[in-house]
Chains A and B, each alone.
Chain A
Amino acid sequence: MGVISSKLGNMGVVTTTLDTAVNWARTGAMWPLLFGLACCAIEMMATQASDYDMSRFGMELNRASPRQSDLIIVAGRVTRKMAPVVRQLYDQMASPKWVLAMGDCASCGGVYNNYAVVQGVDEIIPVDVYVAGCPPRPEQLIHGVLTLHEKVRGESLAQWVRE
């Protein structure tokens, strides 16, 4: 946003690169999918509720439909029965889309190294940011989200075209 505010002239004209503008828009209103799995979902709710208030980062709007959301926060353990559902939700999301693995279970299986739990959601969908913790504190989740914003700001449109 530095570019925009410093180049704000008297005429009210903004000049910036398309990349910056698009990425600013993407990070400013990155709507997560309303998708909770287990314990981490409770902390995700706490992050959106009064004390931590994720709407400060333009993320108060959890969309229940994957078609309308940009970010999927995998909040909790992904089991073998749930895995196809997670993948389907991911496939239904429109590009550009990002994945945040919240908590140990989503990142690596956590304490459940057993038959039922997928050892890391990255076996099913590509993950952008991993947040450690069992469950992570809301501050940690916010930090993870800001890290993701950082990553998005570094992306360029040329990448999307190439893909």
Chain B
Amino acid sequence: MVAPIVKVEPVAIPDSMKQWEGSLEQLRGLVSERAMTGETMLLNMGPHHPSTHGVLRLLLELDGEQIVTCLPDVGYLHTGIEKSIESKSYEKAVPLTDRMDYLAPMSNNMVFALAVEKLTGLDVPERAQVIRVICLELTRINSHLVWLGTHALDMGAMSVFLYCFREREYLLDMFEMLSGQRLMGSYIRPGGVWRDLPAEFMPALERFINYFPGKVDDYEKILTNNPLWIDRTQGIGVIEPDEGIALGVSGPSLRASGVNWDIRKSQPYSGYEKYDFNVPLGEHGDVYDRFYVRILELRESLKIIQQAMKNVPGGAFRSTNRKFVPPPRAELGRSMEAVIHHFKLWTEGYAAPDQEVFVAIESPRGEIGCYLHGTGGNKPRRAHFKTPSFMHISALGKIAEGHMIADLVGIIGSVDIVLGDSDR
């Protein structure tokens, strides 16, 4: 008796779940005419592909190994976050923003918090602003570490991945100290931050600051002058500065092309103008420059954190405007007013005017913007997020044209996309 270990017949997919099986005619105009005659090959890459950094689908038209057209298809992670925010009060929408760009949750919190603050005219105390800067820069390091690890893994360097994730655990431990969650902290809230820095946070940060620069040196030792790495990255996926601006590329990907544009410098928020840091710029705009700009950004972020942690002012960590920010627990036992505020804020929330605001900040990936439109009531009419990954994927087709298919993996990695960020 032999057990039928391998089942031969696949289970039939219900008709409603069948994948799109389009005809060539539907692609007329999107791919070149050569594909219509079968001269070039159409290849589907993704949505389940290990090196697309998530669930990106690319429809490639190939001439041999050369890419003729690259049609990205996103939406496989479209979660309806914007629609969900419309049915939640401003405070309760914060956890949803975490889950957009899941490598940099604090940046999403930050842009949403800034938009709400701008819409309602809420103040943020000095201490909260400095804590926010520390968190944002830690998030930047965190995001760049995941990026570096996975990007190097795509290009065949396994060990960098393990090193990066080792260092990342330090950061996640610190985020856990702050918010109780490793990834999705929802720590930055409208009006400040969720709670004060815990006592063990500063020593942990101190340890990290002393420990981390040596590790960046290690990554550089492995990659920066590695001939294999250079061969695979230099001259690949060049974004010209003008082209990058026109296509909406932003962040390190744009700075690698030599465009000196960093929102932290040019339109500072949360007190970034007080810190002394450089904006690393690339020259050629290729995959290597995008890699190196991010490595330099790791060091610049450390510099900002070092300056910020020396000057954390005292005072409130969250606005004391009780119409917007709930009172601390301890007050509830003493003051009737605090109970009323607490009840009102956690049931109804606060109202924002029937106006619109747009706020953009520099996330690790680029310019993340939040368009928020109030109703006059406690829920927003519309929250729209402009996300860097969405713009980068839309530019991917232009960048990848004419390259070999093996280089495409490097290009996807180098523009640093997160599909949750793109699809929302």
Residue numbers of A with Cβ under 8 A of B are 34-39, 41-43, 45-46, 49-51, 62, 64, 76-77, 79, 81-85, 87-89, 91-92, 94-96, 111-117, 124, 134-135, 137, 157, 160-161
5 A–B pairs (Cβ distance < 8 Å), ordered by A: A46-B168, A50-B165, A77-B79, A96-B5, A135-B184
Contacts of A115 in B (CB 8 A): 80, 83
Q: A77-B79, A112-B84, A134-B184 are in contact. Are A87 and B48 (CB under 8 A)?
A: no
B182 touches A137 (CB 8 A): yes
Contacts of A92 in B (CB 8 A): 10
* CB within 8 Å for A81 and B78 given contacts A95-B6, A112-B84: yes
- Of A43, A51, A112, the residue contacting B166 (CB under 8 A) is A51
Question: Does B4 touch A at the CB level, under 8 Å?
Answer: yes
Using CB atoms, name the residue of chain B closest to A112.
Answer: B79
Partner of B4, one of A46, A49, A161: A161
Given known contacts A43-B182, A94-B7, A51 and B165 CB-to-CB distance under 8 angstroms: yes
Number of residue pairs spanning A and B whose beta carbons lie under 8 angstroms apart: 125
Q: Which residues of A contact B162 (CB under 8 A)?
A: 49-50
Q: Is the CB of A42 within 8 A of B103?
A: yes
Q: Is the interface of B mostly helix, strand, loop or mixed?
A: loop
CB distance from A23 to the nearest CB of B (A): 13
| Chain B residues with CB under 8 A of A83 | 17
| Residue in B3, B17, B79 whose CB lies within 8 Å of A84 | B17
- CB of B147 to closest CB in A, whole Å: 11
Residues on B with beta carbons closer than 8 Å to the beta carbon of A157: 3
Say if the beta carbon of B96 comes within 8 Å of chain A. Answer: yes
List the A side residues contacting B166 at CB < 8 Å. 49-51
Asked whether any CB of chain A lies closer than 8 Å to the CB of B183, the reply is yes
B95 adjacent to chain A (CB < 8 Å): yes
Q: In whole angstroms, how far apart are the Cα atoms of A96 and B6 in the complex?
A: 7
Report the separation of the CA atoms of residues A37 and B6 in the bound assembly, to the nearest whole angstrom. 27
Determine if B76 is an interface residue (Cβ-Cβ < 8 Å).
Answer: yes
B376 at the interface (CB under 8 A from A): no
Chain A residue nearest to B146 (CB atoms) is A42
B6, B18, B76, B161 pick with most chain A CB within 10 angstroms: B76
B residues bordering A, Cβ < 8 Å?
A: 1, 3-7, 10-11, 13, 17-19, 47-50, 54-55, 75-81, 83-84, 95-96, 99, 102-103, 146, 149-150, 161-163, 165-166, 168-169, 172, 182-184, 419-420, 423
Query: Given A83-B17, A87-B17, A161-B3, does the pair A42, B99 have CB atoms closer than 8 Å?
Result: no
* A91–B10 touching, CB < 8 Å: yes
Shortest distance between the CB of A36 and any CB in chain B (Å): 7
Q: How far is the CA of A76 from the CA of B55 in the complex (A)?
A: 11
Nearest residue in B to A35 (C-beta to C-beta)? B48
CB distance from A64 to the nearest CB of B (A): 5
- The answer for the CA separation of A124 and B419 in the assembled complex, in Å, is 22
Closest CB in chain B relative to A105 CB, distance in Å? 8
Is B102 touching A39 in the complex (CB atoms < 8 A)? yes
Contact partner of A46 (CB less than 8 A), chosen from B76, B84, B96, B165, is B165
Q: Which residue of B lies closest to A159 (CB)?
A: B3
Cβ-defined contact, B420 with A39, below 8 A: yes
Contacts of A51 in B (CB 8 A): 165-166, 169
Which residues of the partner chain A approach B169 to less than 8 Å between Cβ atoms?
A: 46, 50-51
Determine whether the beta carbon of B99 is less than 8 Å from that of A39: yes
The answer to whether B13 and A87 have CB atoms under 8 Å apart is: yes
Contacts of A94 in B (CB 8 A): 5-7
- Sort A-B residue pairs by CB-CB distance and give the 4 closest, nearest first: A49-B165, A39-B102, A116-B80, A50-B166
Question: A79 with B76: in contact, given A51-B166, A112-B81 (CB under 8 Å)?
Answer: yes
Q: Which residues in A have their C-beta under 8 angstroms from that of B163?
A: 50
Chain A residues with CB below 8 A from B103, complex form: 42
Let me know if A161 and B1 touch, CB within 8 A. yes
Q: Are B183 and A114 in contact (CB under 8 A)?
A: no
In the bound complex, residues from chain B placing their C-beta under 8 Å from that of A45 are 146, 150, 165
Kindly identify which residue among A34, A39, A84 contacts B183, using a CB–CB cutoff of 8 Å.
A39
Answer whether A38 and B99 are a contact pair too, CB < 8 Å, given A64-B50, A89-B48, A161-B3. yes
Task: Tell me the minimal C-beta distance from B363 to chain A in angstroms.
Answer: 16
- Cα A137 to Cα B55 in complex, Å, equals 22
Question: Hey, which chain B residues are within 8 Å of A34, CB to CB?
Answer: 50
| Given A82-B76, A84-B17: A38 and B102 interface contact (C-beta under 8 Å) | yes
Give chain A residues whose Cβ lies under 8 Å from the Cβ of B7: 94-95
Would you call B5 and A135 a contact (CB within 8 A)?
A: no
A117: nearest residue on chain B (CB-CB)? Answer: B79
Q: Kindly state the separation between the CA atoms of A72 and B273 in the bound complex, as whole angstroms.
A: 48
A residues near B17, Cβ cutoff 8 Å: 83-84, 87, 124
